[in-house]
Amino acid sequence: MSTRVVPGSSFDGGVVDPIPRPAPPEETQKRELRDPILELLCTLEPKNPEVQRERDILIGKRIEANKLAQALIESEMALTRAGVIEAHEASKAAVRDHQKKIDALAKRIAEAQADLNTKKDTVARTMAAFRTATEDRKQLSRYATRAAIAEADAAVQKLENAVDRATANASTLQQTMNHLLLVERTPLMRERDKLMAKELELAAALSGESYTNSLGIVVPARRPL
């Protein structure tokens, strides 16, 4: 079963199993070493008492050696798990810190979008006024005074200049929006995907569950650390 990808703001706890479930029995947590030699020795039933005694001695030595090996393995595995837990916590912290950058940029984008909407509205209203003034100029009587014609021409020219300014302002802000979305936001999102994929890999190493890596490949479940 694949674990879930969660938003960066959720990476604020300790190492937890992404899917709540009952704790496994204690005996399943301990790694049991298989020793085929010991198993074969235990199946022997020598008829010679000396051989039987030798078998018992070998079994005892084998059990003692396995206990020492088991202790060493568990100790080293505990160190490995502790290292992975530390790396996992650092990975979650990296996602959280990176999410703050994305949130800050999202705020800038929202503010720029609101400003752009205002400027586009200004363009629309100015163009409407320009069209009205142009139509009013066309509707002037041919017998209108020079002063009335000059006034109408001045109104048209003034609104035409206003349309040019408003359009230029909206165009400049649109370029700013494109920069925020494509030049700044896109790399941030890609980097967040990488950080989240790394966190997912470390979480899967601890839980043993399967997961989908950054390439879309499903990594099968395995023994947890």
- The full DSSP string for the chain is -BPPP--GGG--S-S--SS--PPPPHHHHSPPPP-HHHHHHHH---SSHHHHHHHHHHHHHHHHHHHHHHHHHHHHHHHHHHHHHHHHHHHHHHHHHHHHHHHHHHHHHHHHHHHHHHHHHHHHHHHHHHHHHHHHHHTS-TT--HHHHHHHHHHHHHHHHHHHHHHHHHHHHHHHHHIIIIIIIHHHHHHHHHHHHHHHHHHHHHH--BEE-TTSPEEPP----
pLDDT at 5: 40
Model confidence at 171, pLDDT cuts 50, 70, 90, reads very high
**119: pLDDT strictly greater than 90:** yes
197 CA to centre of own chain? 7
* Token pair belonging to 225: 């650390």
**Other CB atoms within 10 Å distance of the CB of residue 92:** 23
Domain spanning 32-207, CATH class: mainly alpha
Whether residue 100 is predicted with pLDDT greater than 90 in this model: the reply is yes
Over residues 88-96, the mean pLDDT reads 97
What is residue 17's predicted lDDT score, i.e. its pLDDT? Answer: 39
Which of 131-140, 152-161, 194-203, 207-216 shows the lowest per-residue confidence on average (mean pLDDT)?
A: 207-216
pLDDT level of residue 222 (50, 70, 90 thresholds): confident
55 vs 224, which has greater pLDDT?
55
Task: Give the integer Cα–Cα distance in Å for 214 and 13.
Answer: 23
CA angle 116–119–121, rounded 5-degree value:
110
Average pLDDT over every residue of 63-85: 93
Query: Measuring CA to CA, how many Å separate 119 from each of 74, 130, 139, 155?
Result: 66, 16, 30, 21
> How high is the pLDDT of residue 216?
83
Q: Terminal CA-to-CA distance of the chain, rounded, Å?
A: 18
pLDDT in tens, 22-54: 344 343 345 667 899 999 999 999 999 999 999
Q: pLDDT tens for residues 143-167?
A: 999 999 999 999 999 999 999 999 9
Is the pTM higher than 0.85? The answer reads no
**Does the structure show a pLDDT above 70 at 136?**
yes
Q: What is the mean pLDDT of the chain?
A: 87
Confidence of residue 225 (pLDDT cuts 50, 70, 90): confident
As a whole number of angstroms, the distance between CA 114 and CA 36 comes to: 72
Q: What is the pLDDT of residue 68?
A: 94
* Residue 30: per-residue pLDDT: 59
